[in-house]
Amino acid sequence: MTASHAFHCLALALLLGCSEPTPIDTSGPVADWPEYGGDKGGLRYSPLDQITAANVDDLEVAWTFRHGDVADGSDGDTRTSFNATPIVAGGSLYFCTGYNRVFSLDPETGEQRWVFDPVQKMKQIDGPYPRTCRGVAYWKSPTDGLAADPGACTERIFTGTLDAELIAIDARTGEPCRDFGAGGRVALRERIGDAEPWEYYPTSPPLVIRDVVVVGALVADNLRVDAPAGVVRAFDVRTGALRWAWDPVPEDWTPEARGGDFTAGTPNVWSILSGDPERGLVFVPTGNASPDYYSGARRGLDRFSSATVALDADTGKWVWDFQTVHHDVWDYDVASQPTLYDFPTEAGPVAAVVQATKMGFVFVLNRETGEPLFPVEERKVPTREIPGETVTPTQPFPTHIEPLHPISFGPEDAWGFTWWDKKACAETIAKLRSQGIFTPPSLEGSVHFPSSVGGANWGGVAIDPERGVMFVNTTRLLSVVQLIPRETYEQMDLSQFGYPNEIYPMAGTPYAVKRGPLLSPLGAPCNPPPWGLLTAVDLASGKILWESVLGSTRDQAPFPMWLEFGSPNLGGPIATAGGVVFIGATTDKFLRGYDARTGELIWKERLPFTANATPLTYRLRKDGKQYLVVAAGGHGWSEPGDAVIAWTLP
């Protein structure tokens, strides 16, 4: 301490206090973040312990990078949504933007090393979807003949684009890998059916496993019965040659029934894949067969709908599946990445898959067989009488972990800031069909609680494998879904509808569908807060350890109505050995840190944009610092942005 520093400390001691900064502990482990979910199994856990619950409040911004790929939709171009979770592998940090440009940065300084621009062709995306790219994948060649060639793209970044291409990029230079496909690109629209450009494209990162790169794709919801095929494909990591394709159709379908190409209307796989290289398995979270809210024309194609499916990584053959929703007409597709966890038992650890769902249900499955590790009960649920359609009378309910979201809602549960708006909500709910979870969409309108947002969504869960604790964020937002007879729909003025109050044609069925949140006259949800939660669950006992409010009304409501009521959230948490759970995800512009043991909010950082992405953390050298990074770039509900921000200890 210098004499000047000592003098100032003495002068300000009574008011501010003064002490030397605590030396940074460099005795702990080093670790990167080589996969979207931290590892191929999506644990979202880091063994790093330099940042702890005791010193997290000392974090300061280390660097900020602005990539510039921002569109707000005002010029006719579709708005962007920067939801990427960067990866850190091979000494570099990589991420993609809504324009599918891929950046490489120095992880410790934020300096740009290179940028790859695919020159996106699609200028306009129909429907509510913003331009989104959630992440990229990394591959490094083993030490073989290829690795000896310095110009052979021995380290590769794989990315999917809105133009429905899979691209391989040299991780060191940012140049396309010319030996992959046609000049570094593989076209993904081949054999998936007649599709508009905005109907089919990948938004989530590919999965690299056993020298193949596996990719699914978003298929636009609720437009038509014969939507583009939901096929999952694997390509050779070196050549781009198609190695296998899984067409999610019933086992008894013949090639003639399939029509030769991949089958239209099948469940798509838009979310994040997981892999177990040791067992040679790929775990696939499936969406709905088309369309989401009417199943009378699916021809049995919901056999693999709303399920977790295990595929052989070498052949693509089906190994097992577990369906989380039967005959799904609620848009309860499996949005969360299947999380691979070794579940401790008295007989030793059992390889498991933990699958969170939009319903707030969490299923724990045997990774090798798909059988539930704990009883799953088939319980009676509401049915409906819609001509040409049947709804299954029961649905699977897990018994080990209690639902993380309420499963019933009636007029008596209505909420408001005042008696007036509470009464208005109750009166609206009383006119709707509301018989609890799995109330089918109806002509009069049905309450959906959980909504199609969740529950849990694509942010997934984080698991601390040392403590056996799962952390998951959920949204609680009342919504209404209504079927509209075709003749009525054709006479409607559709210009009045837009996000979040949406209407879709569901062409090929007798109905269109209208859906949106159920809000009071004052614009607040008709269900009571909290509207967003972060929950910790002991996986061994299935008991909830704590629940903490996640988010506030700030950035959605004017001052002074900034209330700690929680908020809808998209993006996920990470857990660290330092005892802190970090999460953005909310509609307010904050990144938060929670004490992993108590759920206490112990750190909160204001951001330039909402962070609807999952954070990551890394420490690359024994004499180096641990960094915390998040992409802050908005979503459909907030201002689009382009910031990548890193924090570290002083």
The per-residue pLDDT for range 370-418, each reduced to its tens digit, is 999 999 999 999 997 788 887 899 999 999 999 999 999 999 999 999 9
Q: Which of 557, 496, 518, 515 is nearest to 424 (CA)?
A: 518
**Residues of the chain predicted below pLDDT 50:** 1-18, 145-148
Element of type H or E holding 257: helix 255-258
3-state secondary structure at position 419: helix
The four Cα atoms 370, 371, 373, 374 give a dihedral, to 10 degrees, of 130
For residue 599, give both structure tokens.
């759920």
Quick one: how many helices (H) and strands (E) in the chain? 4, 42
Q: Which of 569, 493, 491, 487 is nearest to 535 (CA)?
A: 569
Element of type H or E holding 428: helix 419-430
The four Cα atoms 584, 267, 242, 277 give a dihedral, to 10 degrees, of 50
The angle formed by the CA atoms of residues 550, 552 and 555, to the nearest 5 degrees, is 135
How far is 125 from 296, CA to CA, in rounded Å? 28
How far is 648 from 621, CA to CA, in rounded Å? 14
Contact by Cβ (8 Å): 303, 309: no
The rounded Cα 413 to chain-centroid distance in angstroms is 29
Domains annotated for the chain, with CATH where assigned, are 3-48+70-648 (2.140.10.10)
pTM of the model: 0.95
For residue 158, give both structure tokens.
């794989």
Whole-number pLDDT of residue 149: 61
Whole-number pLDDT of residue 13: 41
Contact by Cβ (8 Å): 216, 206: no
**Residue entry with tokens 């000896």:** 148
Q: Which residues make beta-bridge pairs with 351? A: 342
- Catalytic residue numbers read 331
Q: Which residues make beta-bridge pairs with 329? A: none
**Residue entry with tokens 């609890």:** 436
How far is 440 from 515, CA to CA, in rounded Å? 13
**Phi and psi for 11 in degrees, rounded to 5?**
-65, -35
For residue 380, give both structure tokens.
């009676």
How far is 643 from 150, CA to CA, in rounded Å? 33
